Structure 1
């Protein structure tokens, strides 16, 4: 039985990961800002899988001290944390230079600086245990600089991918594994208010099934769902700018 810690687990991709991992026989340590939503999710999971163990704690990942406290409290609860999924994130943003610095700063602090704190706390646990599986949720937007409202978001997702890749280089050949996920368009709280539904958008359940499958296979990197995002990866990275702008 595997114990999995998931941040940003109260809704969207995090909550669906919790449901699917529980269905596959895993115990869960779930944290997010909204404790009441975590309690509802815990009750739902235990009703479906009464033999699972689910612990929940409130956590604002931008509170750096709390990140370390909560991660280590979960480690004390379970004695061992086998896998940590750094999933919490924010999708705010505005074109640079348009007077919305506060939105871009909030995204940068939540998606990168807070992810750094989570990475530090996760690696303290794994180094102490001598093993573990570190999972970073990035984005297909990390493949290349993105325009307008996506500029800061994409930059943060590139940054966290490089954090994880740096760990993988350091830990190569050791019993701490590293996975970086690059989700494409998956339905979540971050995009459910969009007026224009992207034709490539897949349901939360389908998208997360691809994420969970890649995590359980301990893939080094995975574009999820693999179609169309795996073949899109080199196109996004290397297409001439005139073509790339039409794609996005």
Structure 2
């Protein structure tokens, strides 16, 4: 059975990804700050799939030493890590220059610096194994610079996507694959706060949105806009829209 490690797995997209991969036959290594939620998720998954192995660890992804220690420990416990999903993230933000550098810095550290640590730890394992699949969860917001509360968030998601693309270029024709996913609006705790529970524009349910993500992971696609409709065609519009049109869209 393949083994997948997921960070930020205690809720939202991470938890649903764990459920859907377990149904597809994956053993799981689940990490997040809230260990109680991870343990509840493990019990839920094992009740449905008693033949799965599910290891859980408390993890603050902004603690660099802990990131490396936890990834190594889970690899040792499960014997291998076939896939690592860099999912943990933060959606805080404020318009630049409005006195909330603290919020923007926290988002930058969590989404990019901590993302870098997770990628480094995963690649350490994959290089040692000479095999693996790195999946980085970016965002549709990575496609353009965005205004107001989204400015820092969008920049971090663009940064982590470029990090993964650089790796993909380096690893062409190797046994290590790199996937970047660009989710649009998918119901989750983060989007609930921003848009209201499941009521934002073009909001997909958690199950449907994650099903699209999992299909792209399993196909080892280099990149995917998920769900494909409407986000694949909208990605073309977002990349090419003049600034005044883009401002009206966002």
* Shared fold per TM-score greater than 0.5: yes
Following TM superposition, by how much is the alpha carbon of 1:30 offset from its aligned partner in structure 2, in angstroms?
Answer: 0.3
Q: Corresponding residue for 2:93?
A: 93
Q: Corresponding residue for 2:109?
A: 109
Q: Corresponding residue for 1:230?
A: 232
Following TM superposition, by how much is the alpha carbon of 1:79 offset from its aligned partner in structure 2, in angstroms?
Answer: 1.4
SS in 2 for 1:72: helix
Q: Corresponding residue for 1:214?
A: 216
Distance 1:126 1:120 in 2: 10
Following TM superposition, by how much is the alpha carbon of 1:146 offset from its aligned partner in structure 2, in angstroms?
Answer: 0.5
Contact 2:185–2:201, Cα closer than 8 Å, also in 1: no
In the superposition, the TM-score normalised over structure 1's length comes to: 0.99
Structure 1 stretches of 4+ with a deviation exceeding 4 A read: none
RMSD: 0.8
Q: Corresponding residue for 2:247?
A: 245
Q: Corresponding residue for 1:135?
A: 135
Distance 1:195 1:53 in 2: 36
Gaps of 5+ in 1: none
Following TM superposition, by how much is the alpha carbon of 1:86 offset from its aligned partner in structure 2, in angstroms?
Answer: 0.2
Distance 2:120 2:221 in 1: 21
Contact 2:144–2:154, Cα closer than 8 Å, also in 1: yes
Gaps of 5+ in 2: none
Please show how residues 38-53 of structure 1 align to structure 2 within 5 Å: 38-53=38-53
Following TM superposition, by how much is the alpha carbon of 1:241 offset from its aligned partner in structure 2, in angstroms?
Answer: 1.0
Distance 1:79 1:47 in 2: 23
Q: Corresponding residue for 2:76?
A: 76
SS in 1 for 2:235: helix
Q: Corresponding residue for 2:169?
A: 169
Pair 1:113–1:185, CA change in 2 (3 A):
same
Following TM superposition, by how much is the alpha carbon of 1:245 offset from its aligned partner in structure 2, in angstroms?
Answer: 1.2
Contact 2:135–2:181, Cα closer than 8 Å, also in 1: yes
Following TM superposition, by how much is the alpha carbon of 1:195 offset from its aligned partner in structure 2, in angstroms?
Answer: 5.2
Q: Deviations over 1:110-150 (max 9, x none)?
A: 00000000010000000000000000000000000000000
Following TM superposition, by how much is the alpha carbon of 1:99 offset from its aligned partner in structure 2, in angstroms?
Answer: 0.3
Distance 1:43 1:231 in 2: 39
Distance 1:28 1:17 in 2: 10
